[in-house]
């Protein structure tokens, strides 16, 4: 919808871009990877997840950057879904995503992952759902409510040395919003023709 120039939500707190591939241009792994390197990547991801789980349980929604610096490079790149956006460096990640996410959603529960795996410097994990939370107001520009909504998340990371460098995060935001009675697709109008062909618009109020 964004690529078609249709913006059903407020502007993302991060940058709305076409997500790039890995900066190392080695995301397609054809050859067998060193099993020791794969294990290093998986161990690092597991430590990172444990840190975030501990953070959820602590109730500390404005954590110091040192918590992230244990597993992330300072110049990390984080590519989130449209509606949240992409961000660069730990400082900007905290400002543009982590703090809004943590302060505008409450009762966050980690439901576990269906799978975690690693190959070389890359790791992937997902949950269905991964997280459950309750909006307090402000996240994605939406009002708060008392609905416990699920986030289905797919997460891909790239390790560089002893820390993570890049992260691609896919969240089924349409499902999360639909659980709260917000049907974004129902407000889309593809019947209008601009002379070139059908385009995507938000329906007139």
Residue 159 CB-density burial (10 A; 0-12 exposed, 13-18 middle, 19+ buried): buried
6 falls within a domain:
no
**Which residues are within 8 A (CB) of 134 and not within 5 positions of it... i.e. 6 or more apart?**
105, 106, 107, 145, 146, 147, 148, 149
What CATH number is given to the structural domain containing 162? 3.10.450.50
DSSP 163: E
Within 10 angstroms of residue 172's Cβ, the number of other Cβ atoms is: 17
Dist. CA 6–CA 185, nearest whole Å: 11
Q: What are the strands, taking DSSP E only, across the chain?
A: 72-79, 86-88, 105-110, 115-119, 122-135, 149-160, 163-171, 188-189, 201-202
Tell me the sheet residues that pair with 105.
135
169 versus 17: which is more confidently predicted? 169
22 falls within a domain:
no
The number of folded domains in the chain is: 1
26 falls within a domain:
no
Dist. CA 52–CA 67, nearest whole Å: 9
Q: Is 140 helix (H, G, I), strand (E, B) or coil?
A: helix
Q: How do residues 31-60 score in pLDDT, each as one tens digit?
A: 999 999 999 999 999 999 999 888 878 878
**Which residues are within 8 A (CB) of 127 and not within 5 positions of it... i.e. 6 or more apart?**
110, 111, 112, 113, 114, 152, 153
83 falls within a domain:
yes
**At 91, which helix (H) or strand (E)?**
helix 90-93
Report the length, in residues, of the chain.
Answer: 205
**At 65, which helix (H) or strand (E)?**
helix 65-69
Q: Which two tokens stand for residue 83?
A: 């509606």
**Per-residue pLDDT at 116 exceeds 80:** yes
Q: How do residues 61-81 score in pLDDT, each as one tens digit?
A: 898 999 999 999 999 999 999
**Per-residue pLDDT at 118 exceeds 70:** yes
Q: Which two tokens stand for residue 116?
A: 């975690």
Tell me the sheet residues that pair with 106.
134
Q: Is 48 helix (H, G, I), strand (E, B) or coil?
A: helix
What is the mean predicted confidence (pLDDT) over 169-189? 91
DSSP 195: S
15 falls within a domain:
no
pLDDT at position 172 is 96
What is the mean predicted confidence (pLDDT) over 156-165? 98
Segments forming the whole domain that contains residue 162: 35-202
Dist. CA 203–CA 205, nearest whole Å: 6
Which pTM does this prediction carry?
0.90
141 falls within a domain:
yes
When mean pLDDT is compared across 56-65, 169-178, 188-197, the lowest value belongs to 188-197
Mean pLDDT across the chain, nearest whole number? Answer: 91
29 falls within a domain:
no
20 falls within a domain:
no
């Amino acid at each position: 919808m964004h690529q078609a120039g249709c913006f059903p939500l407020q502007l993302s707190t991060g940058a709305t871009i076409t997500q790039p591939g890995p900066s190392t241009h080695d995301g397609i792994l054809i050859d067998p990877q060193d099993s020791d390197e794969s294990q290093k990547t998986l161990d690092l991801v597991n430590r990172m997840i444990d840190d975030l789980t501990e953070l959820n349980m602590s109730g500390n929604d404005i954590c110091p950057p040192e918590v992230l610096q244990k597993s992330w490079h300072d110049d990390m790149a984080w590519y989130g879904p449209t509606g949240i956006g992409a961000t660069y460096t730990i400082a900007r990640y905290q400002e543009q995503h982590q703090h809004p996410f943590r302060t505008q959603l409450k009762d966050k529960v980690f439901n576990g992952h269906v799978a975690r795996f690693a190959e070389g410097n890359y790791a992937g994990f997902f949950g269905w759902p991964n997280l459950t939370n309750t909006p307090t107001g402000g996240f994605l520009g939406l009002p708060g409510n008392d609905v416990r909504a699920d986030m289905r998340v797919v997460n891909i990371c790239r390790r560089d040395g002893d820390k993570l460098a890049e992260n691609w995060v896919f969240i089924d935001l349409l499902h999360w919003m639909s659980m709260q009675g917000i049907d974004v697709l129902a407000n889309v109008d593809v019947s209008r023709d601009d002379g070139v062909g059908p385009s995507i618009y938000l329906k007139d109020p």
